[in-house]
Structure 1
Amino acid sequence: MPDDFLIARNPDEASTLPYLVRIPLGEHGIVLKSKDTWPRTSKVYCHRADAWPEDADVVERVATRVCVRRGAAIELVLDRTKESRSQFVLTHVKGREAIFWQSARTAKQARPAVRIPTARAAGSPVDGETAGPLEIVVDAHERYAWRFSQQQVSTRKQRLDAGDYAVELDGRVVAAVERKSLEDLSSSLLNGKLRYALAELSGIPRAAVVVEERYSRVFALTHVRPAVVADAIAECQARYPSVPIVFAETRALAQEWTYRFLAAALREVGAEGLADARLADLTPAGPVPDPEPSTAAVRAWALGEGLPVSDRGRLRPEIWDAYRARG
């Protein structure tokens, strides 16, 4: 077969991967199902295909300059000026083979140039208590839960009425975070489930939804209209302003944001509780006495009662005593 890189439409209409790519490596090449025709904005997920169809509907055919296997990656350089360099990375996700097609640009976006700090979050116990690791409650139904291995955290599992991760104060949940992938976010927005979740989260003193993706990826969705998802996000934020939806770019950054949000929320709610307790311990001031009447008001009263008073100056003490004695 010719040493060209081929892209064709997937004849299997039931497949969620609409394209086939043929990599000119080996005697017969490697055929993969692909989600897109090039990794322009993010990595493209691929899956092994059985064979290249004889009557393939070819979308694109490009001559290949370099195609070589280097470890777990296949380096590909096409004979064109733009979108020429990419690689297919063979890896495993949760015990299953996964293939990702990426370019230098999308690989950099997937690994933001940040280093997650290891410093303790500013949510240590309030009022001088001994600081220990933050205890985060993980919902018992959470699949592939975050472990917070890079944070100073202890976790325990129990059923949560709202959210996937939470912190408690005196046995009461005071802050919670709902975790979403972009696909889960879009589907729960369109089927209405997220609105119910937001309603429950709004009843907690501090709550948020964190998404393991960039906001810009909303507009790269292919299975739904991006504008519909963007509108649904905006509507939810307008309806439930106390529950922000945060796009944290990657799983690691979403986990870090959740850790620091829960720590800060625990400290804030705890400080509010201490302030309320201190106010309750203050001695009541009692009722406020009526203000002392003016000299003009007492003089007018005395004249009305027929008591002798001067037209100006200070009133005699017995006039004041008579005014107070009237009740």
Structure 2
Amino acid sequence: MPEDFVIARNPEEGSSLPYVLRIPYGDRGVLLKARETWPRTSKVYCHRFEEWPENAEIIERVPVTSCVRRGAAIDLVLDRSREARSQFVISYAKGGRQAIFWQTARTAKQARPHVRTPRARASGVAELAIVVDSQERYAWKFSDQHVVTDRRRLPAGDYGVMWEDELVAAVERKSLGDLVSSLTTGKLKYQLTALAALPHAAVVVEERYSRAFQHEVVRASVIAESLAECQVAFPTVPIVFAESRKLAQEWAYRFLGAAWVAAGQDRPGEEYFADLATGAELPAAEPTVAEIRAWAQANGLRVSDRGRLSAEVRTAYDAAHRAE
């Protein structure tokens, strides 16, 4: 097994990945082409290849302290004081194509927005029933949302909500690689055609818009023009860049919840107005954080002007309003 981590220049002319790497893992090592020699400012896309080029010019050869695989990642620790720890994350784009990203703790942190998703239910729905397309790989779990899922074949989109067995809203999920691929092959226009036939639909991308202009192969102008053409041709189906997988999931949950409630208002069924039919009152909407904070301040409770509310404040609010 190779003992050093090796970086060399890629002798392949015209390659968009000008460096080759050898990770000392396994009998022959893992060989990758890469755009950079280290993920200093952002994650670095890498691509597998089979044979180490004989005429490759070695740039760096660094002894390795540790090289261990942990699930879908290889953790690499180099024997030097700076730029010593990094990780190669193995993922799969839609269609099964392997994608490898080289990152450090710093670049991984930069890729994650520093936000907490809200805990309130989407449109006040106690438990939203979301249908996940049976062909969706690595589907969202909705573990942080009030959701129950069911897998079946959808005529459009990857996630949807039904009203009386009719698909009333759908969301097509895209990684950045899948988005660019479907744009350049024309597949996205067929998907948008199917989505546009629904009352409510959207495409959600698990990445920032700016990252679309850093693609390794397709020119930024081609991607920008193709996206603009799709939005003009299908104005009722927004293409939303949600910055991360977690935020894309949260956006889809809110969108599908609002669409389901709208479907019930447009064509209510027996279940939608079951409480009204029996003369019972509909449950009140959940209070917002601002409303609870204002109540606490008015009643002399200690509460910060910003941030999350303590459990004690929420308990006091609930107790007071149950008494009412």
User: After superposition, what is the alpha-carbon deviation per residue over 1:86-142, rounded to whole angstroms, capped at 9, x for unaligned?
Assistant: 633256658xx9864224542112332223333322242xxxxxx4x1111112222
Aligned to 1:35: 34
Measured on the aligned residues, the alpha-carbon RMSD in Å equals: 3.8
Give SS of 2:155's match. coil
Aligned to 2:86: 88
Q: Shift of the alpha carbon at 1:272?
A: 3.2
Give SS of 2:135's match. coil
Asked whether the 8 Å contact 2:33–2:49 carries over to 1, the reply is no
Q: Which moved more, 1:217-226 or 1:196-205?
A: 196-205
Aligned to 1:69: 66
Q: Shift of the alpha carbon at 1:17?
A: 5.9
Asked whether the 8 Å contact 1:20–1:31 carries over to 2, the reply is no
Distance change >3 Å, CA 207–CA 41, structure 1 → 2: farther
Asked whether the 8 Å contact 2:16–2:35 carries over to 1, the reply is no
Aligned to 2:202: 208
Distance change >3 Å, CA 249–CA 86, structure 1 → 2: farther
2-structure distance, mates of 1:195, 1:230: 15
Q: Which moved more, 1:219-228 or 1:104-113?
A: 104-113
How many matched pairs?
257
> In terms of Rg, which structure is larger?
1
Is residue 261 from structure 1 mapped to residue 255 from structure 2 by the alignment?
yes
2-structure distance, mates of 1:168, 1:253: 23
Distance change >3 Å, CA 100–CA 87, structure 1 → 2: farther
Q: 2:134 aligns with which of 140, 143, 158?
A: 140
Aligned to 2:151: 157
Asked whether the 8 Å contact 2:7–2:60 carries over to 1, the reply is yes
Identity %: 52
1-structure distance, mates of 2:230, 2:53: 46
Q: Shift of the alpha carbon at 1:48?
A: 6.8
Stretches of structure 1 lacking an aligned partner (at least 5 in a row): 125-130, 279-327
Is residue 221 from structure 1 mapped to residue 210 from structure 2 by the alignment?
no
1-structure distance, mates of 2:79, 2:214: 25
Distance change >3 Å, CA 121–CA 36, structure 1 → 2: same
Distance change >3 Å, CA 156–CA 76, structure 1 → 2: same
Asked whether the 8 Å contact 1:77–1:85 carries over to 2, the reply is no
Q: Shift of the alpha carbon at 1:232?
A: 0.6
User: After superposition, what is the alpha-carbon deviation per residue over 1:185-226, rounded to whole angstroms, capped at 9, x for unaligned?
Assistant: 111111212112112211211110001111111111012112
1-structure distance, mates of 2:111, 2:220: 21
Alignment of 1:162-177 (within 5 A): 162-177=156-171
User: After superposition, what is the alpha-carbon deviation per residue over 1:123-173, rounded to whole angstroms, capped at 9, x for unaligned?
Assistant: 42xxxxxx4x11111122222222222221111122221111111112221
Amino acid of the structure 1 residue aligned with 2:33: S
Asked whether the 8 Å contact 1:123–1:265 carries over to 2, the reply is no
Give SS of 2:122's match. coil
Q: Which moved more, 1:135-144 or 1:207-216?
A: 135-144
2-structure distance, mates of 1:186, 1:98: 14
Aligned to 1:288: none
User: After superposition, what is the alpha-carbon deviation per residue over 1:222-270, rounded to whole angstroms, capped at 9, x for unaligned?
Assistant: 1211210111111111221111101112222211111111001111232
Aligned to 2:231: 237
TM-score between both structures, scaled by the size of structure 2: 0.66
Alignment of 1:117-132 (within 5 A): 117-124=118-125, 131=126
Asked whether the 8 Å contact 1:137–1:166 carries over to 2, the reply is yes
Amino acid of the structure 2 residue aligned with 1:89: Q
Distance change >3 Å, CA 207–CA 215, structure 1 → 2: same
2-structure distance, mates of 1:184, 1:50: 24
Q: Shift of the alpha carbon at 1:57?
A: 3.9
Amino acid of the structure 2 residue aligned with 1:222: E
Stretches of structure 2 lacking an aligned partner (at least 5 in a row): 70-74, 93-97, 274-324
2-structure distance, mates of 1:90, 1:198: 34
Give SS of 1:175's match. strand
Asked whether the 8 Å contact 2:88–2:103 carries over to 1, the reply is no
2-structure distance, mates of 1:56, 1:217: 30
Asked whether the 8 Å contact 1:34–1:44 carries over to 2, the reply is no
Aligned to 1:312: none
Distance change >3 Å, CA 76–CA 10, structure 1 → 2: farther
Asked whether the 8 Å contact 1:90–1:98 carries over to 2, the reply is no
Amino acid of the structure 2 residue aligned with 1:87: R
2-structure distance, mates of 1:190, 1:48: 23
